[in-house]
Structure 1
């Protein structure tokens, strides 16, 4: 009898493993689009005067307000748990939108980030309060900016300027996750870390497919 049980277990184990991964692909293969056409950020510039854009980039977008040094805990959470792991991906960027006049504070924060990872893909963009509000409202997240143009929530924007998130999260009443609370290390380390991986994996897969297709020569 023991031999029969062992044989049955060995037979069922590969099937169980297959079903586990198949389920994972179905549930997490693509992160849902929650909002289309997030406002472009062409009105914002870096401290060096360079313009910024969401189009053709995978972006983590944040709003840290008029006193960004007070949000340094958010910055460190994101830098350690998300940015450090993914900044080598060519088309991935962090963009934190700040009001004009906060350039010195942003410089201090960027110096601290450089101790964690290279900062080429971490960008602070400066604009007016109206510009910041316009972009934030286009996310249609239901969250609000505070009186300092700040929010602890950060957002994943894909190359087509769509907001990505969850529509079936069991820990949220309506299942919808528009953004990730950068003040909550658990939210960043678990939910957001997983979702960024899913989006990057989606584009890596598409890139590999395009590279394979480009190598296939048509018949003459």
Structure 2
């Protein structure tokens, strides 16, 4: 009797776990589109000299302004809690949008951070504050940039340049961006949502190329 009980538990537990996770809001589902066709940044300068585009990439986008302390703290949280898990995924990119007057300080900071992070994989776009504001407004979020072009919120933009997020978040209702100061929000909500959108594209790739193994 005990053997049957143990076997029954071993059989039922994986099924119960599967049903639990499959009932999650974003599991095996598409991450909702909140804003279509955000403005691209191909005309901005970049830290590599090559144009940066949202098109054909899954982008985590940050507007971190010209205050280096904001850039350091927010970027460190993001890199350690989210980004370093995903740098090796094809078409994934981390884009930091900054005013031109932050260029020299930021370049030194990126070099310094290479000792403890994957900062060599960051893509940094520079432009005038008016151009940055125009791009930010195209995201159509409730958040605001301060006078230096900074917001602590970071955003997920898909390969079609659409802003992705949650439309039924239990805390905010619509979740347009993720607070880079809040480690719990990064660990839980943002990490989950990045996984969802990457899984979405991987599934689509497998459907279009059934012989692909990964």
- Specify the TM-score bucket, using the shorter chain as the normaliser: 0.7 to 0.9
Correspondent of 1:183 among 181, 189, 193: 181
In structure 2, what is the Cα distance between the partners aligned to 1:15 and 1:88? 32
Higher strand proportion? 2
Residue aligning to 2:76? 76
Q: How many residues align?
A: 212
- Contact 1:31-1:164 at 8 Å conserved across structures: yes
Deviation at 1:206, TM superposition (A): 1.7
Instruction: Tell me: CA distance 1:21–1:185, structure 2 relative to 1, closer, same or farther (3 Å).
Output: closer
Name the Cα RMSD after superposition.
2.5
Deviations 1:35-62 (A, max 9, x none): 1101111121213432110000000001
Q: 5+ residue gaps in structure 2?
A: none
In 2, the alpha carbon distance for the partners of 1:4 and 1:89 equals 44
- Quote the residue 2:32 is aligned against: 32
1:64 and 2:82 correspond:
no
Partner of residue 193 from structure 1, selected from 171, 191, 194: 191
Structure 1 partner of 2:146: 146
- The answer (yes or no) to whether the contact 1:69–1:109 under 8 Å persists in 2 is no
d(CA) in 2 for partners of 1:112 and 1:83? Answer: 18
Q: What is the CA distance between 1:170 and its match in structure 2?
A: 0.9
| 1:67–1:8 distance in 2 versus 1, CA, 3 Å | closer
1:11-58 deviations in Å (ceiling 9; x for gaps): 75455334224313x643221111110111112121343211000000
Structure 2 distance, partners of 1:9, 1:47, is: 56
Q: Deviations over 1:40-92 (max 9, x none)?
A: 11121213432110000000001111223443110100111111111111200
> Residue 218 of structure 1 aligns with which residue?
none
Q: 1:113-170 CA distances to partner (integer Å, 9 max, x unpaired)? A: 3223433431111111111001100111110001111111100000010111011111
Question: For the residues of structure 1 that align with 2:161 and 2:184, how far apart are their CA atoms?
Answer: 27
CA separation of 1:185/1:94 partners in 2, compared to 1, >3 Å: closer, same or farther? same
Task: Structure 1: give runs of 5+ residues left out of the alignment.
Answer: 215-220
Residues in 2 aligned to 1:80 and 1:15: alpha-carbon distance in whole angstroms: 33
Residues 109/83 of structure 1: CA separation in 2 closer, same or farther (3 Å cut): farther
- 1: CA distance, partners of 2:103 / 2:125: 9
TM-score between the two structures when normalised by the length of structure 1: 0.85
Secondary structure at 1:196's aligned position in 2? helix
